[in-house]
Structure 1
Amino acid sequence: MLSIGIIIGSTRQGRNGEAVAKWVYDFATERNDKASYELVDLADFNLPFYGSAIPEAMQEEAKAHVQAWSEKMASFDGYIFVTPEYNHATSGVLKNALDYLNLEVNNKAAGFAAYGSLGGARAIENLRLILGELQVADVRTAITFSLLTDFENMSEFKPADYHAKNANQMLDQLLAWSRALQTVRQK
C-alpha cells in the first residue's frame, strides 16, 4: 500500500491551508485507493531558518525538529503539497522545510493543491522547480482554488464542485507515479 503525505505548507495565523488540506484528505480517503493518506502540518515541526545561527542552548532541540521532519518525509512514497501563493511563489516556510531535505524525497512523486488569487498557479510552478532539484517527479494535473471564488470573504473554504475532476486526475497520476518510482528506489 502506498503512503502519501499531505503537507500543509503554511504556518501563518488565519491560514487557509488547513481547510484545503482537510478537503484533499477527505476527498482522497473517500476514493478507496490502495493508499494511505496522512496530514502533515509544518506548524508541528518548528524548523529553524535553514543555515541560520542557532544559540548553543537551542541546538539539540532544533536538531530534533529537523530529524523528525526528515524521518516523516522519508516515510512516504509520495506527497501532495498544499501551498498558498505568497508574492508569486510558494510560502517561505515550505521552501525552508524543503531545503532540509534531499535523499529522503529522491525518486518520489508529488501532486499539488494550491490556493491564491490565481489559484496558486505560480506557487505550483515555483515548487516544480524546487522539487526537480530534489529529484521529485511532479504530476501534471493540480488542484487550484481561487481565493475569489472558492472562499467566502477569502477565508471560509467553500470549493466549487468542479474541483473533483482535477482532484481525481491528480490523485490517479500521483498514485501511478508513486507506484512506479517504488521500483526505482528498490534498485
Structure 2
Amino acid sequence: MSKPKIAVIVSSTRDSRFADKPAQWVLQQAQKRDEFDVELVDIKDFDLPFFNEMASNLWMPSEDPNAIAWQKKIGEFDGYIFVVAEYNRSITGALKNALDQAYLEWNRKPAAYVGYGSVGAARAIEHLRLINIELQMVPVRSGVHIGGSEFMKVHPLGENGDISNIEPAILPGMNDLLDQLVWWTSATKAQRERDAANA
C-alpha cells in the first residue's frame, strides 16, 4: 500500500481571513508525521462557482471546469483536516459549496477538524461532522478548538501572537487528532483498495 496523502483544507476565502495562521501550524504539525504525506489545499485557489450542476457527481459528471479541477484535486487524498472558521454558528458558505461540488471523491475517507473563534468553532464543526457523514466520510473523534483566551492571544484583534504561544493548550489535542487520522486513513485506504481490486 502506498503512503496515504492528507489534505489540510483552508475553508475561509475572505481576504482578511485569520485561517492562514492556524492552517500553517496544522500543516507543520502534520508534516512531522512520517505515516503520510500532507498538502495544503486552499479553496480560494479554485474559484468555484455556486453549485449549478444538473446533479451531484454521484449521479452524473459535472460540467464546470473549476468544479472538475476541484474534484480531481480532492480525489488525490486519502484523508482530510479541515481548518474551520465559524460564521453564524455554522461553516463558511465557501466550504459548504466546496463540499457540494464533489461527492464520490469524499467517500469512505476520514475527516479531522481544527477550528477557531470565540468557542473554537465547536458549533460549526458539529455541523460539518453531519455534512461529512452524509458524504460517507468518517469523522475522527478528537479535534482542536482554538477559542476563548487562546484565540485572543493569537488573533490580530487581540495579542496577534504566534500559534506556538498557545501550544500547551492545543498540541495534545492535535497529537490525538493525528493519531486517530493515521489509524482511520490506513483502515479506509486498505479497504478501498480491496474493493477496487475486487470490482
Post-superposition shift, 1:28?
Answer: 1.3
Name the counterpart of 2:20. 18
* Alignment map for 1:176-187 (pairs within 5 Å): 176-186=183-193, 187=195
Post-superposition shift, 1:152?
Answer: 4.5
TM (norm. structure 2) is 0.84
TM (norm. structure 1) is 0.89
Paired residues of 1:80 and 1:111 also in contact (CA < 8 A): yes
* Alignment map for 1:1-187 (pairs within 5 Å): 1-30=3-32, 32-51=33-52, 63-146=64-147, 147-154=151-158, 156=160, 158-159=162-163, 160-162=166-168, 163-186=170-193, 187=195
What is the DSSP-based 3-state SS (H/G/I as helix, E as strand, rest coil) of the residue aligned with 1:83?
strand
Greater strand proportion: 1
Identical positions, percent: 40
- Cα RMSD (Å) of the superposition? 1.8
Post-superposition shift, 1:156?
Answer: 3.1
Post-superposition shift, 1:40?
Answer: 0.3
Post-superposition shift, 1:148?
Answer: 2.8
Number of residues of Structure 1 aligned to a counterpart in Structure 2: 178
> What stretches of structure 2 of length at least 5 have no aligned partner?
55-62
Partners of 2:158 and 2:141 lie apart in 1 by: 26
> What stretches of structure 1 of length at least 5 have no aligned partner?
54-61
Partners of 1:52 and 1:155 lie apart in 2 by: 44
Aligned AA for 2:77? F
Which aligned segments of 4 or more residues in structure 1 are displaced greater than 6 angstroms? none
Change (3 A) 1:6 1:164: same
Paired residues of 1:152 and 1:158 also in contact (CA < 8 A): no
Aligned AA for 1:161? E
Post-superposition shift, 1:158?
Answer: 3.0
Paired residues of 1:120 and 1:144 also in contact (CA < 8 A): yes
Aligned AA for 1:169? D
Change (3 A) 1:92 1:72: same
Paired residues of 1:70 and 1:101 also in contact (CA < 8 A): yes
Partners of 1:157 and 1:71 lie apart in 2 by: 36
Post-superposition shift, 1:64?
Answer: 1.6
